[in-house]
Amino acid sequence: MQETKELQALAINTIRFLSADGIQQANSGHPGLPMGAAPMAYAVWTRHLRHNPANPAWANRDRFILSGGHGSMLLYSLIYLTGYDLPLDELKRFRQWDSLTPGHPEYGLTPGVDATTGPLGQGLSNGVGMAIAEAHLAKVYNRPGYEIIDHYTYAIVTDGDLMEGVAAEAASLAGHLGLGKLIYLYDDNRISIEGSTEIAFTEDRGKRFEAYGWHVQAVADGLDVEAIDRAIQTAKADPRPSLIVVRNIIGYGLPTRQGTAKAHGEPPGDKELNAARDNLGWPQEPRFYVPDEALAFFRQAAARGAELEQAWQQKFAAYRAAFPELAAELERRLAGQLPDGWADTLPVFPPDAKGLASRASSGKVLNALADRLPDLVGGSADLAPSTVTWMNNSPAFAPDCREGRNLHFGVREHGMGAVVNGMAYHGGIIPFGATFMVFSDYMRPALRMAALSHLGAIFIFTHDSIGVGEDGPTHQPVEQMAALRAIPNLTALRPADANEAREAWKIAIENRHRPTALVLTRQNLPTLDRSVVAPAAGVRRGAYVLADLGEGQPQIILMASGSEVSLIVEAGQRLAAQGVTVRLVSFPSWELFGEQDAAYQNAVLPPEITARLAVEAGVTMGWHRWVGSQGRVLGIDRFGASAPAATVFEKFGFTVENVVKIAEGLL
């Protein structure tokens, strides 16, 4: 069907009023963005976006992110109109229980949604990770004449997105890396919830992004589809990431609300909406009206998308014939599968009283994994030597080295978390990001989004306790372990020694549908003698009986995670020498243990044994679930202190003598 000016106007108004009708019917939502940004969304989706509505997971599709996720009805309208498996009835159930059209887009729920968005700045930053993944996979797998990975990442970003600090972090990184397949359209409507952006946001946004190294263009009239189209074409030809500043009018068409904060985040009301229909020549009835001509025009995306994917499949078949090993590996990665024997060469650590810091043993495991898993791509927030996360057999990812697997994120923890999520959204990559445990707070929104979106991202947090020592309370995490455990669908693992670190990594690699946090020490931990205590494979169940000391039923259970496990082992041995029967439990993951059946939980923590002591160098909150009403927790419910690590542990009572004393008081 040939696009005409009349058809274009009809199609754009279809987007506007489908969105507004959904919001009005729900009596909840944000009409301003969909009504104002509809023309530029139309330009992207009908003229540039390469996608197949019949296969939302097509690996070489262009990605589209609605970073201003509050305008979700814009995205749902586009998804429905272009023929994804999202019935019109679901648009009528916007923001209702169990619908496919929640208040903000959710990855994995609604077909065609490439990223969970809403918390501002996250989607913008996710796109940077998607572009990194595309560039890396293209460099590694493409061959002349076989551009198997070749697509763009588009986003609509908002004033609020650009205000958020995470956006500054990610945009700075994108400019430095020269991610030219990143094209963002900025909804420059200059209105936020409190009013004009003049009250708080007056810098020259275009010059700011130019300073980051972006290609910046301006479109003076957001209704001018041809100008927007030309800007996108120009952006595609530029090697830099692109920001197209499009001057829009929020709530366009609403007679008393357009251009004002009232258009942003509340239903317009029937009177205002009917007047907008009159303004734009749209019938007042029926609601959710979709003209046949507009629907037929949008639905051309289905045939076009099928042709695009079929052509790609034919190219991939030729690629497979020419490069069978490369093709097989790429297919495996895109399918999220692991190669046979991927864990066969992981190190097994012998007993060692001195041992290793778990950050160091983790680094050894990571490098062994990296040699078998080309999927692993990641880095740290300027801390690779300290987090021990450099993959020795790969260079750094850079503008002239897209094959590099080590990422220099810079001191940008929040941006790192969101970029790691973007790589996970893209697929074909097992991404990781690393920093000190205390700075997990800086990236908490990204951790939460990874968990909400069921992403297999890996987050490595070292320097996990008061063992940081002289750096003092600013760098000594005490509340962060509890904070990680509070995030639903996040697996937090705090291994007790080098072999538990190996098992924790295996769990992280296998968990492709939820994120994992590996919590590691700076200080050395003794490597336990596994001929005396249980195998480290028990980590897989979250908590396991390390050993029963003495004869008969245990009188007391000592449990701990991470660096404190070796402490309870020594304390347990001392108690056993005094004739006390002791059960020692290593407890690396509450989440995994909580998922075990009651029989296993009761086998590890028999209900009849009420004398229980948990030992962890962090806040005590939550441990009473496991120690019961008659048990005790040795923890730290205050900030740490600056002194050598051994002194700090002693002053806070993390000594064998104190553990024995508390245990004796429970008997």
Active site residue 285: no
Strands 524-527 and 430-436: unpaired
Supply the mean pLDDT for the chain: 98
Per the CB < 8 A criterion, the answer to whether 492 and 590 are in contact is yes
Taking each helix axis from N to C end, the angle separating 32-47 and 72-81, rounded to the nearest 10 degrees, works out to 40
* Host H or E run for residue 544: strand 544-549
Domain segments of the chain: what residues?
5-305, 352-527, 536-666
- Residue 38, SS3 per DSSP: helix
CB burial readout 537-546, b (16+ within 10 A) else e: ebbbbbbbbb
325 token code pair: 């090993």
> DSSP states of 632-655 as a string?
EEE---S---SS-HHHHHHHTT-S
Distance, CA of 589 to CA of 485 (rounded, Å) = 9
Q: Which tokens belong to 410?
A: 């810079």
Q: Which CATH number fits domain 5-305: 3.30.390.10, 3.40.50.970, 3.40.50.11540, 3.40.50.300?
A: 3.40.50.970
What is the per-residue pLDDT for 31? 98
**Residue range 536-666, CATH number:** 3.40.50.920
Cα–Cα distance measured from residue 133 to residue 130, given in angstroms and rounded to the nearest whole number: 5
| CA–CA distance, 123 with 166 (Å, rounded to integer) | 10
**DSSP per position, 405-455:** -EEE--S-HHHHHHHHHHHHHH-S-EEEEEEEGGGGGGGHHHHHHHHHTT-
What amino acid is encoded at 77 in this protein? S
pLDDT digits (tens, 9 = 90+) for 480-498: 999 999 999 999 999 999 9
Which helix (H) or strand (E) segment holds residue 46: the answer is helix 32-47
Does the pLDDT of residue 13 top 90, yes or no?
Answer: yes
CATH topology of domain 352-527: Rossmann fold (3.40.50)
Other Cβ atoms less than 10 A from the Cβ of 194: the count is 10
Q: Is the pLDDT of residue 253 over 90?
A: yes
Query: Coil, strand or helix: which one is 566?
Result: helix
* pLDDT reading at 1 higher than 90: no
For the chain, percent of residues with pLDDT exceeding 90: 100
User: Which of 461, 466, 458 is CA-nearest to residue 442?
Assistant: 461
Q: DSSP letters of 331-343? A: HHHHTT---TTTT
Quick one: average pLDDT of 491-517? 98
Residue 136 has pLDDT above 90, yes or no: yes
- Domains 5-305 and 536-666 alike in fold: yes
pLDDT per position as a tens digit, 222-249: 999 999 999 999 999 999 999 999 999 9
Percentages (nearest 5) of helix, strand, coil residues in the chain: 45, 15, 40
Residue 615's φ and ψ, nearest 5 degrees, are -130, 120
Q: Give the sign of the dihedral formed by CA 177, CA 179, CA 180, CA 185.
A: negative
Read off the pLDDT of residues 43-70 as tens digits, 9 standing for 90 and up: 999 999 999 999 999 999 999 999 999 9
pLDDT digits (tens, 9 = 90+) for 341-375: 999 999 999 999 999 999 999 999 999 999 999 99
The tokens describing 69, both together, are 């996720």
Say how far apart CA 471 and CA 473 lie, in whole Å.
7
* Beta-bridge mates of residue 196: 191
CA pseudo-torsion sign 313, 317, 323, 325: positive
Q: Of 603, 526, 631, 520, whose CA–CA distance to 569 is shortest?
A: 526
> Which residue in 413, 500, 503, 564 is the catalytic one?
413
**What is the DSSP secondary structure assignment for residue 461, as one 8-state letter?**
E
**What would the two tokens of residue 112 be?**
């065609």
In contact, 38 and 250? CB cutoff 8 Å: no
Question: Over the stretch 94-135, which tens digit does the pLDDT of each residue have?
Answer: 999 999 999 999 999 999 999 999 999 999 999 999 999 999
* Rounded Cα gap, residues 58 and 320, in angstroms: 17
Would you call 629 helix, strand, or coil by DSSP?
A: coil
| pLDDT, tens digit (0-9, with 9 covering 90-100), for 139-168 | 999 999 999 999 999 999 999 999 999 999
pLDDT tens digits, one per residue of 268-290: 999 999 999 999 999 999 999 99
Tell me the mean pLDDT in the region 71-97. 98
pLDDT at 589 over 90: yes
* Cβ–Cβ under 8 Å, residues 153 and 63: yes
Residue 603's H or E segment, with its range, is: helix 598-604
CA-based nearest residue to 414, from 126, 4, 92: 126
- Predicted pLDDT of residue 115: 98
Predicted structure pTM score: 0.98
Which residues are bridge partners to 518 per DSSP?
Answer: 460, 493
